[in-house]
């Protein structure tokens, strides 16, 4: 049975966890064209753009790894919106694997993880390397299979990362793609229907418990898409009043 949790949310306290979409990024280039111009007499200024569905801050749909699985527009919006716990892994060394033991230790320092909630993994990698450089990928920590299985065992609806979370991503950047099972968070979590929210930043500004709103745009048939991820610190509602949400089982 779902139990209603009354949450007090201050909209002014929203923390933006999304990277700006930079058209000059060395890896994630995209096309942008101004097709209608006010200066030319058009009634509106109108742009068109194209880029990878897996660039900058974005969400992955199960169809990214499994043929016939849900595409982005078929994933319930509740996958990306709800209460979230932040696991502090900021002491992880560059290039180190994040396994079940490290995650369990971080969980013991955090509020109780509730099945059906969202889990955010904080390494502060965005402060340690610049996402505009290859070192952001080359030097990053990564989740190993034991870590992915530990996360899946907790039953989250989604997991968010502030670092490139699979070890082969660094090899892909060098033109040496890994095999699908090596991308363990995709292989374990996404195949289990657990959403992935990738390339977050600013998790160091969050308390241990937040309301996360990270729904991607509803691209029909897409395997992923950009999202504007926002986090709202949770506070005790004054005199029993506040915003009511449902905690998922």
Cβ 243 vs Cβ 7: under 8 Å: yes
Give the pLDDT confidence score for residue 176 in this predicted structure.
Answer: 87
pLDDT grade, residue 112 (50/70/90)?
confident
> Which residue in the block uniquely carries the two structure tokens 């992923």?
224
Share of the chain above pLDDT 70, in %: 91
CATH number of the domain where residue 163 is located: 3.50.30.50
Give the pLDDT confidence score for residue 236 in this predicted structure.
Answer: 54
Residue 14: Cβ within 10 Å count: 15
Residue 107 belongs to a domain: yes
Share of the chain above pLDDT 90, in %: 80
Residue 247 belongs to a domain: no
Boundaries of domain holding 171: 3-242
Residue 249 belongs to a domain: no
Residue 143 belongs to a domain: yes
- pTM equals 0.90
26, two tokens: 């060395």
Residue 22 belongs to a domain: yes
Q: What is the maximal distance between C-alpha atoms in the chain?
A: 62
Residue 248 belongs to a domain: no
Is the model's pLDDT at 186 over the cut of 90? yes
Q: Number of structural domains, the chain?
A: 1
pLDDT in tens, 43-75: 999 999 899 999 999 999 999 999 999 999 999
Residue 199 belongs to a domain: yes
pLDDT in tens, 89-102: 999 999 999 999 99
Residue 122 belongs to a domain: yes
pLDDT in tens, 211-235: 999 999 999 999 999 999 999 998 6
**Short-list 1, 3, 8, 2, CA closest to 211:** 8
């Amino acid at each position: 049975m779902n139990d209603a949790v009354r949450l007090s949310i201050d909209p002014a306290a929203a923390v933006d966890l999304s990277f700006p979409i930079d058209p000059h990024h060395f890896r994630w280039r995209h096309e942008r064209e101004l097709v209608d111009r006010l200066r030319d007499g058009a009634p509106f200024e109108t742009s068109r753009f194209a880029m990878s569905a897996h660039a900058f801050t974005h969400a992955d749909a199960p169809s990214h790894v499994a043929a016939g699985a849900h595409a982005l527009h078929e994933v319930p919006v509740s996958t990306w919106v709800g209460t979230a716990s932040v696991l502090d892994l900021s002491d992880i060394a560059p290039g180190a694997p994040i396994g079940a033991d490290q995650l369990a230790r971080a969980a013991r320092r955090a509020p109780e993880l509730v099945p059906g909630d969202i889990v955010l993994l904080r390494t502060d990698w965005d402060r340690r390397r610049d996402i505009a450089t290859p070192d952001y990928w080359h030097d990053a920590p990564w989740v190993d299979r034991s870590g992915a299985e530990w996360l899946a065992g907790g039953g989250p609806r989604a997991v968010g990362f502030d670092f490139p979370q699979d070890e082969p991503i660094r090899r892909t950047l060098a033109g040496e793609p890994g095999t699908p099972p090596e991308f363990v968070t995709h292989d374990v979590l996404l195949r289990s229907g657990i959403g992935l929210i990738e390339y977050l930043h600013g998790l160091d500004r969050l308390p241990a418990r937040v309301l996360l709103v990270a729904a991607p745009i509803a691209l029909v048939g897409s395997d992923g898409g950009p999202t504007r991820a926002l986090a709202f610190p949770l506070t005790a509602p004054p005199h029993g009043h506040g915003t009511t949400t449902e905690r998922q089982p």
